Amino acid sequence: MSPGRLEAFSDGVFAIAITLLVLDIHVPDPSTTADLAQQLGSQWPSYVAYGVSFLTIGIIWINHHAMVRRLRRVDHSILIWNLLLLMTVSALPFTTALMAAYLKESSGESLAAAVYSGSFLLMGVVFAGMNRHVLFERAAYLEEDTDEPTRRLILKRAVAGLIPYAIATVLAPISPYLTLAICAAVAAFYASPAASAADVQPVPPSSYDQ
Amino acid sequence: MSPGRLEAFSDGVFAIAITLLVLDIHVPDPSTTADLAQQLGSQWPSYVAYGVSFLTIGIIWINHHAMVRRLRRVDHSILIWNLLLLMTVSALPFTTALMAAYLKESSGESLAAAVYSGSFLLMGVVFAGMNRHVLFERAAYLEEDTDEPTRRLILKRAVAGLIPYAIATVLAPISPYLTLAICAAVAAFYASPAASAADVQPVPPSSYDQ
Amino acid sequence: MSPGRLEAFSDGVFAIAITLLVLDIHVPDPSTTADLAQQLGSQWPSYVAYGVSFLTIGIIWINHHAMVRRLRRVDHSILIWNLLLLMTVSALPFTTALMAAYLKESSGESLAAAVYSGSFLLMGVVFAGMNRHVLFERAAYLEEDTDEPTRRLILKRAVAGLIPYAIATVLAPISPYLTLAICAAVAAFYASPAASAADVQPVPPSSYDQ
Amino acid sequence: MSPGRLEAFSDGVFAIAITLLVLDIHVPDPSTTADLAQQLGSQWPSYVAYGVSFLTIGIIWINHHAMVRRLRRVDHSILIWNLLLLMTVSALPFTTALMAAYLKESSGESLAAAVYSGSFLLMGVVFAGMNRHVLFERAAYLEEDTDEPTRRLILKRAVAGLIPYAIATVLAPISPYLTLAICAAVAAFYASPAASAADVQPVPPSSYDQ
């Protein structure tokens, strides 16, 4: 299979998962809603969780493209790694809805938050694992002969990206709001120009538009 | 990332958001429906909101294509602007369902209408912002050297397109029907041949089919 | 816009609409289901409606491809015709669910059947209208100079395809089962090898694989 | 129609069906959930069914690509075979949800399991049928002249893949857990490196990345 076809299928899954997020924002039932403004306002965890998950999926899509772009070909092992990654991405509409439903509850809120950041962590772990597989066990498939220091740097960054999610997951029992804030901060960081310079773009800018 | 790949992903999100709109049209429960014709008839706000949102997303898709077509390459900042735009597009199935559910209610109808036209306004603001970013801060990435008057004209049109949505949002407290009518009129205008000549196609027709 | 991009977006909408059909097949609630076999059996209208709508959307997708394949370029009017066509296609998951929910009811069943075949009829009318627009008002955009007799033949076939749906809609008050049977027969006919020779393929077979 | 366009449409359906699976994992209602951990834990059949179905659809997607890649062109009969295959794939979110809902029930659990593995069996039968049609009745369309022993081998493998699903379906009355375990084992086998060497890749590795 060509990397282009792998990417087209993956982009389809990313696009669907990111768009399904909206199904978790519910329209208040008119027959039981006295004050719509208050009702919509009380749903703010849904909006925040929607925004954070949307940006996070968008960023993993950008990073996924950067990874696949380095490949000249793919084999069965890369296809299966990719399926596992997509499986974790596709689960995010569920964990996002869980977070939104329980954030303000007095029971289950810590677990929901841990599942939420934990699902980002799992996605990041599989992404780092796939990167490691591609960069070190399938180095011969790489588009251009990337030297080992560069490959180590790319992997190090993928692993470093796991740290905030691990912290957010560990802190969930203390405060689910803190967990959500950390996930939001990570998304904001990777969306910022700073991330562009340092992290998302480990290949020279000149080849970015290939 | 190539503009083509950005566009393929974006087209996926546009196509999914536009098709998810139908999930907000509900089949009346047979066990509680005495008169199906009356029930289906009473759901007319759903059909109107579906049609207006469908055309509006279709038109922003056409305009998005016109914008991306001008680009030779994209960088991180353009990718993030694009994600923000897609985030506003993906939210439309929710705001459309909200409008349909509350249009005929005696409480919450103004807010629902304001959220509906407000979501189009927000989408338009982000689209204008992305256009401004592309045309003036990333002018070097443009396919052909578009002169400044042309670039100003394109941006002026994107901003002018915001005015009816701003009016529709402001008028929501007076009548949600008026808000819906304005949004419908905007969609009808951009779908008409007049729009084709004046607004949607700021590059010469000869290059339209590239 | 290139015809290829128009088709990629349209294919996305076709693929999503066809896959959303399954959401209308419901899992019986375990807590209230004594006999699952009987419950699943009683849902047979859902399975039939699913199959008929799936094949029908698949066939309109094939025909849509045949139409777009003839185009060298598209303009704003063709984009809008295409959006209207996609709007009728995207509505089919709703009309299919309506048919499935009411087929066996003693009230509303005729209307549901009329809406079901009527939605196919509407899709066919818009498809014929788009074909007429493309073949006669935008003949200059056609890939190769199709002579007028051929263009008339293509349009005649598109219009002839409306007749069974019109009959099915008219007969809905007599029997919704008859309406469903006619729609199923149409889908089966176009899926059969006979349709391949006579109807779906108005251009010479030698250019079919372009 | 070109094989590439057939594949792009099919990939869309595969991507949507695989991503819709998550809609069957439900967020427990906060107002009635005393112990979220216990509630989420009790939903384990949903997670297992999600994982197994996700991998299975992913693997049929890989195999579908391998089949289409051999084609130089497609005709109406191949399009219809392909639609039938996609119809069985699109039904999987329903049969997966059915399995998850009934696995732990004391009534209907065998039927649900039989429907689950039966839906994989049906998909496999249609896939084998399509392979037979392509390899033997449309051999002239094949990319390179595959000799008959190779074509027989490909078909034999597609048919052999049906056996475990047939066994799983037959064993459903004995234990739905056994049925699920067999389906999981099949997915795990095809995802393993062993499958890569033996089964998924019947053409020489050197042409795998075309």
Please judge whether A16 and D14 are an interchain contact, meaning their C-beta atoms are less than 8 angstroms apart: no
- For A74-109, how does the pLDDT look when each residue is reduced to its tens digit (9 = 90+)? 999 999 999 999 999 999 999 999 999 999 999 999
pLDDT confidence of D143, banded at 50, 70, 90? confident
- For B23-58, how does the pLDDT look when each residue is reduced to its tens digit (9 = 90+)? 999 999 999 999 999 999 999 999 999 999 999 999
Q: Which of A96, A78, A84 is nearest to A17 (CA)?
A: A96
Of residues A20, A86, A111, nearest to D36 (C-beta): A111
Please judge whether A7 and B9 are an interchain contact, meaning their C-beta atoms are less than 8 angstroms apart: no
Q: Is the pLDDT of residue B187 over 70?
A: yes
* Chain C adjacent subunits, 3+ CB pairs under 8 A: B, D
Please judge whether A54 and B8 are an interchain contact, meaning their C-beta atoms are less than 8 angstroms apart: no
Maximum CA pair distance of chain A? 64
Overall size of chain D counted in residues: 210
What is the Cα–Cα distance from D18 to C206, expressed in whole angstroms?
Answer: 36
* Chain D adjacent subunits, 3+ CB pairs under 8 A: A, C
Please judge whether A9 and D11 are an interchain contact, meaning their C-beta atoms are less than 8 angstroms apart: yes
What is the Cα–Cα distance from C182 to C116, expressed in whole angstroms?
Answer: 11
CB-count exposure of residue C92 (10 Å: 0-12, 13-18, 19+) = buried
| Least-confidence region, from A168-177, A195-204, B40-49, C80-89 | A195-204
pLDDT at C197: 54
Please judge whether D94 and C22 are an interchain contact, meaning their C-beta atoms are less than 8 angstroms apart: yes
What is the Cα–Cα distance from A98 to A108, expressed in whole angstroms?
Answer: 10
Please judge whether B76 and A11 are an interchain contact, meaning their C-beta atoms are less than 8 angstroms apart: no
Of the segments B9-18, B144-153, D139-148, which one has the largest average pLDDT value?
B9-18
Overall size of chain C counted in residues: 210
Mean pLDDT of chain B: 91
The three-state secondary structure class of D70 is coil
What is the Cα–Cα distance from A196 to C209, expressed in whole angstroms?
Answer: 43
Q: Quick one: what percent of chain B has pLDDT higher than 70? A: 92
pLDDT confidence of B198, banded at 50, 70, 90? very low
Kindly list the residues of chain C whose beta carbon comes within 8 Å of any beta carbon in chain D.
7-8, 11-12, 14-16, 18-23, 25, 27-28, 30, 33-37, 40, 50-51, 54-55, 58, 61-62, 65, 69, 191, 193, 195-196, 200-201, 205, 208-210
Average pLDDT over residues D182-201: 79
Strand-pairing partners, residue D142, are: D71
**DSSP per-residue string spanning A33-97:** -S-HHHHHHHTHHHHHHHHHHHHHHHHHHHHHHHHHHTBS---HHHHHHHHHHHHHHHTHHHHHH
CB burial string B177-187: b at 16+ within 10 A, e below: eebbebbbebb
Please judge whether B195 and C76 are an interchain contact, meaning their C-beta atoms are less than 8 angstroms apart: yes
pLDDT confidence of B59, banded at 50, 70, 90? very high
For residue B20, what is the enclosing H or E element? helix B3-20
Q: Which of C130, C129, C50 is nearest to C95 (CA)?
A: C50
Average pLDDT over residues C41-54: 97
Residue spans of alpha helices (H) in D70-206: 76-90, 92-102, 109-132, 148-160, 162-170, 176-191, 193-198
Task: Fill in the DSSP letter of residue A119.
Answer: H
Please judge whether D91 and C50 are an interchain contact, meaning their C-beta atoms are less than 8 angstroms apart: yes
pLDDT at B22: 96
What is the Cα–Cα distance from D72 to D210, expressed in whole angstroms?
Answer: 13
Beta-carbon contacts of residue D7 (< 8 Å; ≥ 6 apart):
A5, D64, D65, D68
Give me the torsion for CA of B60, B65, B70, B74, rounded to 10°. 100
**Which residue in chain A has the smallest CA separation from D34?**
A107
Q: Is the pLDDT of residue B202 over 70?
A: no
Distances (CA, A) of A26 to A23, B96, B117, B173, C17: 7, 12, 18, 23, 22
Looking at this predicted complex, what is its ipTM? 0.91
Give me the total of CB pairs closer than 8 Å, taking one residue from chain A and one from chain B: 97
The count of other CB atoms within 10 Å of the CB of residue D84 is 21
Q: Is the pLDDT of residue B205 over 60?
A: no
Q: Quick one: what percent of chain B has pLDDT higher than 90? A: 86
- For C58-79, how does the pLDDT look when each residue is reduced to its tens digit (9 = 90+)? 999 999 999 999 999 999 999 9
Interface test with C, best of B6, B18, B210 (most C CBs within 10 A): B18
CB burial string C161-193: b at 16+ within 10 A, e below: bbebbeebbebbeeebeebbebbbebbeebbee
Distances (CA, A) of D92 to C16, C94, C161, D115: 15, 20, 32, 10
Which chain D residues are within 8 Å of C3, Cβ to Cβ? Answer: none
Q: Rounded to 5 degrees, what angle do the CA atoms A171, A128, A168 make?
A: 10
**DSSP per-residue string spanning D161-199:** THHHHHHHHHTTTT-HHHHHHHHHHHHHHHHSHHHHHHT
What is the Cα–Cα distance from B60 to B14, expressed in whole angstroms?
Answer: 9
Average pLDDT over residues D21-34: 95
Please compute, for residue C93, the number of CA atoms within 13 A of its CA located in the half-sphere on the CB side: 24
Single pTM value for the model: 0.93
The count of other CB atoms within 10 Å of the CB of residue D156 is 11
pLDDT at D61: 97
| Cβ A66 vs Cβ A127: under 8 Å | no
Q: Is the pLDDT of residue C137 over 90?
A: yes
Average pLDDT over residues C120-144: 94
| Cβ D122 vs Cβ D88: under 8 Å | yes
pLDDT at D196: 67
Q: Is the pLDDT of residue B210 over 80?
A: no
Average pLDDT over residues A112-133: 98
Q: Is the pLDDT of residue B208 over 50?
A: no
Mean pLDDT of chain A: 91
Which chain A residues are within 8 Å of B93, Cβ to Cβ? Answer: 22-23
**Angle at which helices B148-160 and B162-170 cross, to 10°:** 20
pLDDT at A11: 96
pLDDT at B180: 98
- For B163-181, how does the pLDDT look when each residue is reduced to its tens digit (9 = 90+)? 999 999 999 999 999 999 9
pLDDT at A210: 35
pLDDT confidence of A126, banded at 50, 70, 90? very high
What is the Cα–Cα distance from D95 to D130, expressed in whole angstroms?
Answer: 22
| Least-confidence region, from C128-137, D20-29, D136-145, D164-173 | D136-145
Average pLDDT over residues C40-59: 97
Please judge whether D30 and A74 are an interchain contact, meaning their C-beta atoms are less than 8 angstroms apart: no
- For C97-131, how does the pLDDT look when each residue is reduced to its tens digit (9 = 90+)? 999 999 999 999 999 999 999 999 999 999 999 99
What is the Cα–Cα distance from A55 to C155, expressed in whole angstroms?
Answer: 47
pLDDT at B196: 67
Average pLDDT over residues D61-89: 95
Please judge whether B18 and C115 are an interchain contact, meaning their C-beta atoms are less than 8 angstroms apart: no
pLDDT confidence of A196, banded at 50, 70, 90? low
Distances (CA, A) of B150 to A208, B45, B94, B202, C18: 28, 40, 36, 8, 42
pLDDT at B136: 95
Radius of gyration in angstroms for the set of CA atoms belonging to chain C, rounded to a whole number: 19
CB-count exposure of residue C141 (10 Å: 0-12, 13-18, 19+) = middle
**What is the dihedral sign for C-alpha A72, A75, A77, A80?**
positive
Q: Is the pLDDT of residue B204 over 80?
A: no
Amino acid identity, position B18: I
What is the Cα–Cα distance from D114 to A130, expressed in whole angstroms?
Answer: 35
Of the segments A13-27, A140-154, D185-199, which one has the largest average pLDDT value?
A13-27
* Tokens standing for residue A122: 């799992």
Please judge whether A9 and D14 are an interchain contact, meaning their C-beta atoms are less than 8 angstroms apart: yes
What is the Cα–Cα distance from D191 to D187, expressed in whole angstroms?
Answer: 6
The three-state secondary structure class of D142 is strand
- For B63-109, how does the pLDDT look when each residue is reduced to its tens digit (9 = 90+)? 999 999 999 999 999 999 999 999 999 999 999 999 999 999 999 99
Beta-carbon contacts of residue B126 (< 8 Å; ≥ 6 apart):
B81, B84, B85, B88
Interface test with A, best of B23, B76, B126, B130 (most A CBs within 10 A): B76
Which chain A residues are within 8 Å of B13, Cβ to Cβ? Answer: 15, 18-19
Q: Which of C19, C53, C25, C17 is nearest to C180 (CA)?
A: C53
Which chain B residues are within 8 Å of A30, Cβ to Cβ? Answer: 101-102, 105, 108
Which chain B residues are within 8 Å of A50, Cβ to Cβ? Answer: 91
What is the Cα–Cα distance from B184 to C24, expressed in whole angstroms?
Answer: 29
Q: Is the pLDDT of residue D74 over 50?
A: yes
